[in-house]
A = this chain, B = another copy of it.
Amino acid sequence: MLTKLKRLLIGRPLKSNESHSQKLNKFKALAVLSSDALSSVAYGPEQILIVLMAAGSGALWFSLPISLGVLILLVALVLSYQQIIYAYPQGGGAYMVAKENLGTNFGLTAGGALLVDYILTVAVSISAGTDAITSAFPALHDHSVSVAVCIVVLITILNLRGLTDSATLLSYPVYFFVLIMLIIIGGGIYAALTGTITPIHQHAQMGTPAMGVSLFLLLRAFSSGCSALTGVEAISNAIPSFKNPAPKNAAKTLLMMGGILAILLAGIVFIAYWFGVHPVNDQTVLSQIAGHLFGRNIFYYMIQASTALILILAANTGYSAFPLLAFNLARDKYMPRPFKVRGDRLGYSNGILTLGALSIILIIIFKGRTENLIPLYAVGVFIPFSLSQTGMIVHWIRQKPKGWGGKLVINLIGALICYLILAIFFLTKFTNIWPVLVFVPIVIIIFHKIHEHYMHVAEQLRIDFSEPLPVIHSSDNVIVVPVAGITKVVEQSLTYAKSLSDNVMAVYVGDSPEAIEKMTREWNEWNPGVRLVTLHSLYRSIVSPLDKFISTVKYKADKSGATVTVVFPQFYTKKWWQSLLHNQSGVLIKASLIRHKDVVIATVPYHFKK
């Protein structure tokens, strides 16, 4: 049943050698690797406006200078990551760069932050995608959590099946989104220049002083705007997927992506300002712009669909990144081994399932509200950003390649900006982001605990090839067969036990002297050639007298280095409901014995024929 459902959902198992991958040209790589970054346009500008709105609509013009700050930051990040691309052509994730240059603990910090961050990528992107959908269909607004959860479940299933990494297929929605954004920006600028469309609200002139605008508020708005930069690092992690010369192609692609992102961001912020869009609860800024420019016609719905789609693709990047990072951490023995196992469809199923489950939990806790998730997301991104840059500084100082001075300066500036942003985050949004200070250290402690355990295990399991195998003589082994009566099952168990050793004991636990006497009499009559030990249970429990008896046997056996084996029959009925008719106390007794007594449990199946 379960197996069938699994087959239906995720398809037939694939052979190990059916795995294959393709090399990407710049055009396709841009599409595949930039959905996370470009989709940020759908929520980044809005986050700035939400913060500014706290000081009234007169403060909204501040979005323009703030976006300029974000664009400068973007330039710094692109330059820094180009350095990383050349220095780590095998793919320099923050975990790798930080671990190699700054040591294990910084690596784990980056790794832990990234894991949390990928979960947030999924939660934020899907929440924002759901916003795009509910903006278009307001009737769904009250069900946004359910919609978001359904989408996550769907993506999880698709990833368990193994998405065909068809770059061609994935590139359509990305370029379509870019095209549509360019049309909106073009149409908006045209409307602004010609004045053919009246703004939604009158916008305040740039430079108008606004009450309630403090430096704190502006920094807060700036840090919100930094959420538009999430996903910039994706290309530097995926250099091996590029066609040769991979680092060069990757660096160019990063530059292209930065350029597109900058244009889209600047354009959307400008138009939102020009049309005097106010951030509202039940419709995204992008939806307001689109609806106002073109009316709620088919083109409007295409815009919303395209926005939702690129956000879902962005979430999907989390599904490639999280399981891979979990695999790397598991390989280094910092995460549980199951994350190393490939599933039926060759994906790292456990990583995919974990990511899906955790992001659903986040969506439910934060009620699917994008603006509540974004501060965490952004700070989570800037921790590995900072650590990568710092790692690169150490890298240049250590390696000192040709022209390292210039490279050092670039990464130094990048690092300083990142630390500045982090400082601004903690200064302006502490109430939103303190969980990071709790969870990341906890995750790191867990990494270490896991590592420690695996090291201990490896040490305990290691054997010396030169030592010969110890020998136990068959006659030393003690076999104990608990019996409840005289039946075929007992006969089978005794036969089996006698074939293993000459030292077999049957044990009967009776709850009255009469029961014990009766059993002894029948046993002698039957005479199976095995000694019967009887125990009297005052409390009707079989476990505790048996437990005590086996302790005694074990104690004696240990002296001669022999093993104790306890033989249990296990009934298998023909129909499942029949198994309910048999006391399953044997299962509990077995579990208790093997856990506490260090004896071998031999389970002899008895299959009922009707």
Binding site for B on A (CB under 8 A): 13-17, 336-338, 341-342, 344, 450, 453-454, 456-457, 460-463, 465, 469-474, 476-477, 486-489, 491, 494-496, 498-501, 511-512, 525-526, 528-529, 538-541, 563, 565, 570, 572-573, 578, 580-583, 594-595, 598-605, 607-610
Contacts and interface: CB of A to CB of B under 8 A. Distances in A.
Contacts of A538: 15-17
Given A16-B539, A471-B498, A487-B461, A595 B572 contact: yes
Contacts of A473: 499
Contact of A487 (B15, B462, B604, B608): B462
Nearest to A522: B465
Nearest to A525: B465
A529 B499 CA distance: 22
Copies in the complex: 2
Nearest to A528: B469
Given A461-B488, A496-B563, A600-B603, 11 more contacts: A336-B580, A462-B488, A463-B486, A463-B526, A469-B528, A474-B499, A499-B563, A570-B594, A572-B594, A594-B605, A600-B602
Nearest to A338: B583
A473 B595 CA distance: 31
Nearest first, the 6 closest Cβ-Cβ pairs linking A and B are: A461-B487, A472-B499, A602-B602, A15-B538, A461-B488, A601-B603
B599 A605 contact: yes
B477 A499 contact: yes
A541 B13 contact: yes
A529 B454 contact: no
A494 B469 CA distance: 8
Nearest to A536: B16
B512 A495 contact: no
Contacts of A477: 499-500
A506 to B, nearest CB: 12
A605 B610 contact: no
A13 B594 CA distance: 24
A574 to B, nearest CB: 9
A491 B467 CA distance: 11
6 contacts: A460-B608, A463-B526, A465-B486, A499-B563, A572-B595, A603-B603
A511 to B, nearest CB: 6
Given A462-B488, A608-B457, A539 B13 contact: yes
A493 to B, nearest CB: 10
Nearest to A14: B539
Given A15-B539, A539-B16, A463 B487 contact: yes
B595 A604 contact: no
A599 to B, nearest CB: 7
Contacts of A602: 565, 600-603
A564 to B, nearest CB: 11
Contacts of A465: 486, 525-526
A607 B457 CA distance: 10
Contacts of A472: 495-496, 498-499
Contacts of A603: 594, 600-603
A280 B412 CA distance: 82
A469 B495 contact: yes
A494 B563 CA distance: 13
Contacts of A539: 13-16, 344
Contacts of A14: 539
B498 A582 contact: no
Contacts of A598: 605, 607
A361 B609 CA distance: 36
A488 B463 contact: yes
Nearest to A446: B577
Nearest to A593: B605
B600 A496 contact: yes
A15 B538 CA distance: 5
B471 A495 contact: yes
A582 B336 CA distance: 7
Contact of A489 (B461, B474, B609): B461
Given A565-B602, A601-B603, A582 B337 contact: yes
Given A463-B491, A572-B595, A594-B605, A474 B471 contact: no
A565 B454 CA distance: 30
Contacts of A526: 463, 465
A511 B16 contact: yes
A323 B370 CA distance: 56
A363 to B, nearest CB: 25
Nearest to A598: B605
A339 to B, nearest CB: 11
B474 A581 contact: no
A444 to B, nearest CB: 16
Contact of A336 (B342, B570, B572, B581): B581
Nearest to A336: B581
A348 B100 CA distance: 65
B453 A337 contact: no
Contacts of A461: 487-489
Contacts of A463: 486-488, 491, 526
Contacts of A16: 511-512, 538-540
Contacts of A17: 538
Contacts of A342: 540
A528 B598 CA distance: 23
A17 B511 CA distance: 10
A398 to B, nearest CB: 34
Contacts of A494: 469
Given A500-B477, A563-B499, A460 B609 contact: yes
